[in-house]
Structure 1
Amino acid sequence: MIDALEQAEAAVAACFETAAWAATERDLVAALDATHRLEQRLAAVKLTLVRELDGRGTATAQGASSTAVWLRDRLRLGVGAARRLVELAATLDTAPPGVRDALAGGVVDVEQVRVIAATVETVHTAAGTEAADKAVGVLVEWAAQFDATLLRRLGTRILDHVAPDVAQAAAEAALRAQESRAARDRHVTISEQSDGRLRLAGILDTEAAAALRAAIDPLTTPTGPDDARTPGQRRHDALADVCRLALRTGELPENGGDLAQVVVTTGYDELTRQLGTAALDTGRHLSAEAVRRLACDAAILPAVLGGAGQPLDIGRQRRLITGPLRRALVLRDRGCAFPGCDRPPRWCDAHHIQHWADGGSTSLTNAVLLCGHHHRHLHHSDWAVRLGDDGHPEFIPPAWLDPEQVPRRNQYHRRR
């Protein structure tokens, strides 16, 4: 396989070096069609490899929390793209043979495969194996003419073509299946942008959508004739207001040992004299004016930092790693400290480097932030953690993974 792929890679590189301007229009169109078929065939190979690696547990064996996270680092993908790759690989694994053959032959693309597989599953449930086999042929034929979106729309009427005698009853079953998929697929994705803003995307089920509209619609009304905000800006501000209202209730569950809160770090002079900037625990910065606004409705905890930004003293020490001590950990580690993990502080536990049962103290020099997965992984693997000379955590991989056992650090939370 490796030899064949290297030959294909060399052939593609040669095509890239070929002067496209010298080809006729007919040859250019033919080359485009061939490129698209090759792209789909490569996608089939890639999905097969991802499925096999996922089944073998390669990602977790190398310390990643999932195959998607491992692919993100290995292939330098966005985590959403990596997750979709794993999902598509699983879909291809369970797809009818005719669908897999069509993808391998470059007849359909991966999004069409997802649509065909879901539609055939519905047909199989409603009308049996024979109708499902007919549906595969019809849908693959349609896929040569229509994109995934239109194919999905046409698929809702597939029974009229392959099993007209059960189409009416199946339509009702399909509706119930659609409602079930809607419940399964509900999600909200929060993607951090390079400047600290967040991009929200997702799908809400009917109940959650009604609750959201009931909460934000009254707050999206223009405040007066001089309100120049766009509808999108008003919805943004309404959502922020709802979050602030929820934080003020004091009824949100604890988050990592503390009540739900926004943590801002600033200097005394910056706060009192409205100078400079302040840092959120996510690593982003706010203007001094914004900090003073937040401070009007916030508790203030003094902290002393060393020259390298190391927290030296932060409120009272406690036996458990909560409160001021946990906030010190957040200031230092910024999130899960395990190499390659980007999970934020609110998802993390505080881990004793030298276990409490072994005489380890509850102190900043004996603690590290770890997400739930990597906390468990550290306890049940040959990885080791220690503080480096600069006081920041570093992890020693097991010898089977790195014979040299070179210390590794988390690069996602670095800010200097």
Structure 2
Amino acid sequence: MVEALALADEAVAACVDDAVWALAEDELIAALDATHRLEQRLAAVKLALVREIDGRGTAHAQGASSTAVWLRERLRLTISTARRLVDLAAALDTGNPGIRAALANGDITVDQARVIGDTVATVHTSADAQAADKAVGVLIEWAGQFDPTLLRKLGTRILDHVAPEVADAAAQAALEAEARRANRDRHLTLSELSDGRLRLAGILDTETAGLLRAAIDPLSAPSGPDDTRCAGQRRHDALADLCRLTLRTTDLPEHGGDPAQIVVTTTFDTLAGQLGPGTLDTGLHLTPDTVRRLACDAAILPAVLGSAGQPLDVGRQRRLVTGPLRRALVLRDRGCAFPGCDRPPRWCDAHHIRHWADGGTTSLANAVLLCGHHHRHLHHSDWVVRLGGDGHPEFIPPAWLDPDQIPRRNHYHRRT
């Protein structure tokens, strides 16, 4: 297979530099159709490979918490895209082989395959296998005429065509299946932009959408006739107000021994003279004016910083990493330090590099932030963690994974 894919890669590479402007209009359209068909057939191969990797447990063997996380790191995908790949690969493997064959033949797209798989799963809950097979055939035929959105709408009444005797009873099952899909697909993604801002994207289930609207709508109304903010800006400011109100409560869970809070790092000279930005514990940057405003109602904690920016002295030793030491660890690692992990500090535990029971000290030089999965993985695998020459953690993989055992670092939290 690898050799065949290499030949296909060479053939595609040869097309990249072809002068498409020289093609006649019918040739141009034919080339587009052929490219689209090839793209779907390659997707079928990719999904088969993903399914096999997931079934073998390759991701867990290499230290990832899931196949989706492993794919994100390996293929540089977003986590939501990686999850959809894993889910669709499983659906096509366990579902009707007709869907997989249609995709492999280039008769349907990946998005249409996902819709057909979801619809057929609903049919299985209400009718027999024969009706499900018939539904696949009907939906594949419809896929030649309708895009995924229309195909999903038509699929809600597929039983009217393949099993009318159970269609009414299945309407309720379809509604419940839609609720399950909404629960499965719910997510919220925070993407850091190059200038320190965040882009929010996601899908909320119906209940959460109602909660958000109930909380944010009263805060996002225009403040008066002179309010020049657009609707999007008012919703942005309402979300900020909602976060401030929430942080003022005492109901949020603690993180590492501290109440929920935001942490801003700056220097005294910067704070006093408004000379530069401050840095949040998430790595985002704030303007000097914003830092001074936050400092008006904040606890200011001293920390001694080395030339590489690592905190060196934050308080007395103890078995648990809490308080100033926990904050120093967050400032240094900025999240789970295991290579390829993007878990933020609030999801992480402090791991003693040399175990406290073995005489290890509770100090910055003997601690590293790890999420729950990688904390467990490090205790039950041959990975070794140490601090590099610059005082930041690096991980040595086991010999079976990397015979050269070249140290690896986490680049998701690296400061730029």
Provide the C-alpha distance between the structure 2 equivalents of 1:312 and 1:180, rounded to a whole number of angstroms: 49
Q: Report the AA paired with residue 365 of structure 1.
A: A
Q: CA deviation at 1:19?
A: 2.8
Residue 227 of structure 2 aligns with which residue? Answer: 227
Q: Report the AA paired with residue 14 of structure 2.
A: A
Q: Which runs of 4+ in 1 moved over 4 A?
A: none
Residue 179 of structure 1 aligns with which residue? Answer: 179
Provide the C-alpha distance between the structure 1 equivalents of 2:182 and 2:389, rounded to a whole number of angstroms: 51
Pick which of 15-24 and 161-170 moved more: 15-24
SS of 1:369's partner is strand
Provide the C-alpha distance between the structure 2 equivalents of 1:123 and 1:342, rounded to a whole number of angstroms: 38
SS of 1:212's partner is helix
User: Percent identity over the alignment?
Assistant: 76
Check whether the contact 1:394–1:407 (CA below 8 A) recurs between aligned residues: yes
Provide the C-alpha distance between the structure 1 equivalents of 2:185 and 2:35, rounded to a whole number of angstroms: 33
- In the TM superposition, 1:79-98 aligns within 5 A as 79-98=79-98
Residue 132 of structure 2 aligns with which residue? Answer: 132
Cα deviation 1:11-63 (Å, max 9, x = unaligned): 22223333323332222222221111111110000110011011111112122
Q: Which runs of 5+ in 1 are unaligned?
A: none
The normalised TM-score by structure 2 is: 0.95
Residue 14 of structure 1 aligns with which residue? Answer: 14
Q: CA deviation at 1:117?
A: 1.0
Provide the C-alpha distance between the structure 2 equivalents of 1:15 and 1:383, rounded to a whole number of angstroms: 44
Provide the C-alpha distance between the structure 2 equivalents of 1:371 and 1:172, rounded to a whole number of angstroms: 40
SS of 1:249's partner is coil
Residue 263 of structure 1 aligns with which residue? Answer: 263
Check whether the contact 2:339–2:395 (CA below 8 A) recurs between aligned residues: yes
**What's the RMSD between the two structures over aligned residues?**
1.7
Pick which of 355-364 and 85-94 moved more: 85-94
SS of 1:386's partner is strand
Provide the C-alpha distance between the structure 1 equivalents of 2:61 and 2:180, rounded to a whole number of angstroms: 34
Check whether the contact 1:302–1:315 (CA below 8 A) recurs between aligned residues: no
SS of 2:414's partner is coil
Provide the C-alpha distance between the structure 2 equivalents of 1:249 and 1:38, rounded to a whole number of angstroms: 55
Residue 403 of structure 1 aligns with which residue? Answer: 403
Q: Say if 1:221 and 1:307 are closer, same or farther in 2 by CA, change over 3 A.
A: same
Q: Does 1:111 align with 2:111?
A: yes
Check whether the contact 1:318–1:325 (CA below 8 A) recurs between aligned residues: no
Cα deviation 1:58-87 (Å, max 9, x = unaligned): 112122222222222222222332222222
Residue 214 of structure 1 aligns with which residue? Answer: 214
Q: Say if 1:135 and 1:82 are closer, same or farther in 2 by CA, change over 3 A.
A: same
Check whether the contact 2:256–2:321 (CA below 8 A) recurs between aligned residues: no
The normalised TM-score by structure 1 is: 0.95
SS of 1:199's partner is strand
Residue 320 of structure 1 aligns with which residue? Answer: 320
Q: CA deviation at 1:160?
A: 1.7
Residue 37 of structure 2 aligns with which residue? Answer: 37
- In the TM superposition, 1:14-413 aligns within 5 A as 14-413=14-413
SS of 2:257's partner is coil
Provide the C-alpha distance between the structure 1 equivalents of 2:327 and 2:198, rounded to a whole number of angstroms: 23
Check whether the contact 1:311–1:328 (CA below 8 A) recurs between aligned residues: yes
Q: CA deviation at 1:317?
A: 4.4
Q: CA deviation at 1:389?
A: 2.0
Q: CA deviation at 1:315?
A: 4.4
Check whether the contact 2:319–2:356 (CA below 8 A) recurs between aligned residues: no
Pick which of 15-24 and 290-299 moved more: 15-24
**Pairs aligned (count):** 416
Check whether the contact 2:317–2:361 (CA below 8 A) recurs between aligned residues: no
Q: CA deviation at 1:274?
A: 2.7
Provide the C-alpha distance between the structure 2 equivalents of 1:255 and 1:356, rounded to a whole number of angstroms: 21
SS of 1:259's partner is coil
Pick which of 274-283 and 241-250 moved more: 274-283
Pick which of 168-177 and 370-379 moved more: 168-177
